[in-house]
Amino acid sequence: MIESLYLPIISAFYLGLITSISPCPLATNIAATSFLSQHIQRTSLIFRTGIFYALGRIISYIMVAAIIIFLSIKVNIVAMFLQRNINKMLGPILIIVGLVLLNLINLNFSFKLPLPKKLDKLHPNVANSFLLGFLFALSFCPISAALFFGSLIPLALKSQYSIVLAVVYGFATGLPVIIFALLLSYSAKSIASYFNIINKIEVYLRKLTGIIFVLGGIYYSIIYIFKITI
């Protein structure tokens, strides 16, 4: 039981981490956390604000994943279809996601909620930081959408611990925000250094993940679509 949960949890955590440090979510997280903290003098309150912003993102991802998982379980037609075809679907999905991560497929779309144009009207307290994190998490750009809908959701649907994986994924997406808020409490110089390091790491991790996804997709396609035993 423990061994069967170990690998999916690591995978969900890794996917969440890659999502959080992708250019679009990372820039949004840093901008939002900086804004929410700009008028706060107490370092402890800055960190608390970051925690609640991250918590808002975590809850948002968990809710979306839980709804999809719940519907797939409760709707018998969908559940039966997924049981028969999830392995066949996973191959092409992984290949497409991998090509997106490698920038070989350029998806020019984004889903953004109608958020207030002037965020400076919001008072930077922990309640508003939670709400802002919750709403920003629902704004998907191509990479974050590919990782969430194309990777985490199929992984969760194949596992009996689906909600646990959603929780782990959500936590990983909020982890860099918590670290950023902690740095923001002490040193602006540390923030710039942290941001540069993350940008460099993200490029290599994204390419490595893309290659792994493409290879995994090819493997799943050979085994489950073309029925070739390796």
* Confidence category of residue 167, pLDDT binned at 50, 70, 90: confident
Q: Identify whether the C-beta of residue 68 lies closer than 8 Å to the C-beta of residue 55.
A: no
DSSP tally for the chain: helices H, then strands E: 9, 0
Backbone angles phi, psi at 160, to 5 degrees: -80, -10
Q: Looking only at Cα atoms, what is the longest distance across the chain?
A: 63
* Confidence category of residue 118, pLDDT binned at 50, 70, 90: very low
Indicate the average pLDDT of the chain. 77
Give CA–CA dist 105/98, Å, rounded: 9
Give CA–CA dist 124/127, Å, rounded: 8
Q: What end-to-end distance do the CA atoms of the chain give, in Å?
A: 27
Structure tokens at 73: 């379980």
Q: Identify whether the C-beta of residue 180 lies closer than 8 Å to the C-beta of residue 191.
A: yes
103: left (phi over 0), alpha (psi -120 to 50) or beta: left
Share of the chain above pLDDT 70, in %: 74
pLDDT at 123: 46
pLDDT in tens, 8-67: 899 999 999 998 888 777 777 777 666 666 655 566 677 777 788 888 888 988 898 888
Chain length of the chain: 230
Domain ranges of the chain: 2-108+117-225
Structure tokens at 8: 């999916």
Average pLDDT on 127-133 reads 79
At residue 195, does pLDDT exceed 70? Answer: no
